Each structure stands twice: as C-alpha cells, then as structure tokens.
Structure 1
Amino acid sequence: MEKDILKIAKDTIFEESRTLEDLGQSLDQHFVFIVELLFKCKGRIIITGIGKSALIAQKIVATLNSTGSPAIYMHAGDAAHGDLGMVRKEDILICLSKSGQTAELQLIVPLVKLQGTTVIGICSEPKCFLTESCDHHLIIPLGSEASPNNLIPTSSTTAQLALGDAIAVCLLSLRGFSNKEFASLHPGGSIGKQLFVKVEELYLKNEKPVIHPDASIRETIIEMTSKRLGATVICEDNKILGIITDGDLRRMLQSMKDISHLTAKDIMTVSPYTIESDVLAYEAFTKMRAHSISHIIISDHGDYKGIIHIHDFIREGFL
C-alpha cells in the first residue's frame, strides 16, 4: 500500500513537471508581445475564470499586485450579474479556461470587447471560443491531467499558475521593481521584517554587555549573567577587542583546573563577527547563519554599539 501511495504521488508530480517543461518550450515571441501589452496597460489587469481556473486567477492577481502591476479578480459567473461594471476600456481582461469553451466566458467576452477592452484568452485548446473570440491568446500545451481518467484539473491548473508567475516576473523586471518598492507593499509578516527592519531596531532593545580586557572571570560571568544575552563584548576605549560567550566559558572550564589567574583577554575570541547598525536585520541574520554563530556585534567604525542574539530574530518573527 505504501509503495502504491508513493508511486501515485511521484507520478502526479512527474506528470505536472512534464506539462511545465512543455509550457516553457512553447513560449515564443507572441508571449513577449502579450507581456509588453500588459506592461503598457493604462488601466488594470483583470483576470477571470470559473471553478479551479477562478482560484488560479485569484492567486495570479495577488502576485501581480504584490509586484507592482495593478490587478483585480472578477468571477466570471458574477460578471454576468453586475460585476462586469468593474471592467473599463483601458483595462485588459485575461480569461482563464482549460477548454476555452466556458459558457460564462462566452457570455461576457463579446460584451467586454464591445466597449473596446482588450481581451486575452489562456486555454489548452488551439481551436475554441477563446482562441477565436479574444484579441490575443496563449495556449497551454497539455498532454493529460495528473489524475485518474484525465478528469481532475491538476496539470492544467499547475501550468496556469506557472504561466501567471512567468508573466508577473517578466512585468516586475520590465518595471525595474526594486526591493524598496517590494518592501512598501509587504510591510507585515516575515517578508516585511526582512525588507524593513534594520539592525538598530533589534540591538537597542537589548542590554549592552561589556567588560575590560583585564576583567576577572568572576566579573565576566557576572556581566554576562546580568545582561542576559549569553555573551559579553571586550572593549578598551569602546573599541572592540573580542567576545566571550557561554560556550567559551564551558570550554575554559573543561580544559583548565585553575582559572583564578585568568582574565577576559585570555579566553576571548578575537576578531569577532561584526555588522554596521544601519544595515537590514536580515543581512545580520544571514551572516550569523552562514557562520553558525549565536551572537553578532554591532559596530560603528570600530566602536561598540550593541549586540544581537539569534533569539532576537525568533522574537521578531524572522524564523
């Protein structure tokens, strides 16, 4: 039974991947023309469909909006009952349908074209209502659905989604959509934090553990304990000399019996990893992960500003 489940799952994924490969191979200059047409659109990109295609349409709309291309979703069924009023002449309407024969689309496409709105059809049948009635069309090559009896929309909807992503990324590139613009549209959640939050917004919430290089081990432990970050920075005239972490203390206790004569400079890690305060917090997180460290020191031209612990990123929702 387990082998049957794995075979079905793998066959499904492989069938969908073949459809995506065929789709990629099928794109030509006509796709380029349509992307450029959408790029020059003075209104909004409106996407419509029925059933599973309607769900894909909503996701494509969300992707377009999040990457700087104004788009709205219109349910093809509701369009015939008043929602058609949202479509304006300067908009471009994209119709999604596997068969290209959807009854609701056959009703609304002529009405939309009558007011001069450009209509693009996306379907899997070369000869159908959408290819014959729309101003432009894209054909998604489809061998078969990845489902029993070739009935359940699987490969077809996967391809629709991929084509929508391809269009959105092309438009993003044409618009020169920057990280700053992307951040302005994603202020919430982990994406917003990665693009907005700077290092200084994290370290300023922490204590600032610091000791002199000649501090005793007892003084070092007290400073680390009181500041509750599991580390302390060793400075002289506020210049960073090194760092001592909980791990350094454990290794010291394992390797030495008499520690009474030791000072901070004897066990510190010299040339610790640092980062400037005005960079994005996500850059600090990436650096910490790359070097497998739990702390990073904030430096301003060599001066000690503060320290960040990996737990700060967990608290802020980066993980």
Structure 2
Amino acid sequence: MISKLSFKFFQIERKLDETRFLVEDSNGQLYYGESWKQVKRLEAMTSAEIRSELEFEPLSEVGVNASDFFATFEEAKMTKFTGDLNDPAVFVKRQRFLVDSENFRENPERFRLLTAREIEFCEVLIKDPHPNLCEYLGVVLADAPAPEDRITDLVYTRYSIDLFTFVQRGYLRDSEQVEFIIQCVKDGISHLHQLGYVHCDISPGNIFLITHNSEDTSTSKDDSSSEASSSSEGSASEDSGSEDSSSSEGSASSEDSSASGESLNVRIENVVLGDFDAATKEGGILDLKRAPDGWWPEDLELDFGDCAVFEIDHHGLEKIKDWLLECLSESDAS
C-alpha cells in the first residue's frame, strides 16, 4: 500500500510557472508529478506532506521506464565512490532529467547514454589525470531496495566558481587573468586530446576556477568590509544535463555582481575544464550533446552525425578568449 511507504524527492526542476519533480519511495520506485509550488516549498516538505499534498504517478504510467535513466555499474570497469557525499570538498553530479519535459518523455535513454559516456571518459582520466581537468572521484550507486547496479550520480572535486559566474560577478580584472585562464584551459584540452577525446562542449559554464578573495586595497577599508560581508562566492556546479547551464547559474548571481567585483580582489589559483558527458573519441560520431549555439564553432560546419575532430575544441577555446576580452573591454569602458 502506498500509504505505508515513505517518500523523498529525487529531483526537482522549475520552468516558468510550473515545477516538475521525481519522487522516490522507500521501495526504490520513482514517480513523476507536477506542481505550482516553488522549489524551496517542495524541498521543505516531509514524507507525509509529499504523500498527502502532491499528486504523482509511477513513471511507467507516463510512458517511462525508470531503468532507462540510469547507467549500469560494472565493477571491473568503474570506480565506486566510497567517501562522504556530504563532504563540502566534493560535488555530486546528477543528470537533470526534467529540464526538458518533452525530452524526458520521448528520449529518456538519452540520460543513461550521456552518463555512460561521461563515465567512460572519466575512467580513462582517473588513470592519467591532469591538473587542468576536473578531478573525477567515482560513481554513486542507488540505495537498496532500488537496483544495486543503478548509477545515480558521479562525484568530482568541488571548485570555487564557474567562469560564467566569475565574469558576471565582476571578478575579471585584467588581461593577465585572461591569459592565465586561457593557458590553463588550453593545457587541459591538450591533455584531453592526448587521451584521444574531443570535449565538444567548451563554454563558460563548463570551466571552473579555484579562487581566493582578498580586500581591494583601492577601496576604503570600511566600504570593502561591509560590501564583502554581504556577498559570497558561489560553488561551481557541473550541470551537464542542461546545455544552457551557464546562463541559469549566472542569473542567480547577477544581483550582487557589481558589488562583489568592486569590493573584492579575487585571486585565481587554478582553472580546470569539466563536464565530460559530451566528450567523444576523435573520429567518433557527434550525438546526444554538444556546446550550445553561440559557443559551438559554426564555421566548421559540423553537427550531430558528423565526426568529432580536435578543431572543435580549438575553435571553442578561441570563442572563450574573445568573450573574455570583450567582457574585459566592456568593464574597462564602464
């Protein structure tokens, strides 16, 4: 009986004025539902409130098999994460199944294939890591009684901030920063190419920085301390399920961008390239995911169905450099 089960949210996504969610019961079954409630209101609900206040139905009744979502764990080929998922130094990545409701219903296996492809590359990377590529720590398996070989998440080292948010908050100050960022990403791309892969999704939301904040000596002590205390540096999240993740993350931090940039000197310690679910072997067929329009090198006249070539990433890096210099120029002009 459903009344004897306990419930928790597996994933929540809001788009326009509607919130979509996946609920998992204590038997490991998944349900789909929709609500007008805001995400924070749903997240605060107890198991009893989920059961009594929300309407949802088994995935099978909306035409989706739950197993389509999840890659299968292969012990001989994959690394199982055994650390603490609550450790603030780690980032737990889960495909965002509900971002596109039509894709969610019509092509659910896309998420399983994306996860499997990312794991394939990461298992190569973990044997030959590089300081300018996100550090992969392993996969997370579903808790019993859900299928024991169901991979729900990937785990990476957590970084301070993504490049899109870094720029939008006004932290980009000079050409030396631009040169350092580009050189780090270039080194990461070079290693990825040496491993035989093309990243295929070079964009600001997939570049992450380790940063440290300090007071700006050009600002008075009273002003800088008060402004700095009201702003905080966001955690970068690898959000591979969304092809426009950089814009969604950036909008969340836009309100405090000018204050943060003026009150803080942000020192960049390192820059890494991440989000590997579009990574494709050189010569392999482009499918499932690529960089969004605006960051994809249209001049190469390549798209899904064509072969992946290293030039895709080289052109993507040039777009990042041009964008950074343009942002820096606009900042100087203002």
TM range (shorter): under 0.3
Query: In proportion to residue count, which structure has more helix?
Result: 1
* TM-score, normalised relative to structure 1: 0.20
Structure of larger gyration radius: 1
Structure number with the bigger relative contact order (C-alpha 8 A, sep ≥ 6) is 2
TM-score under structure 2 length normalisation: 0.20
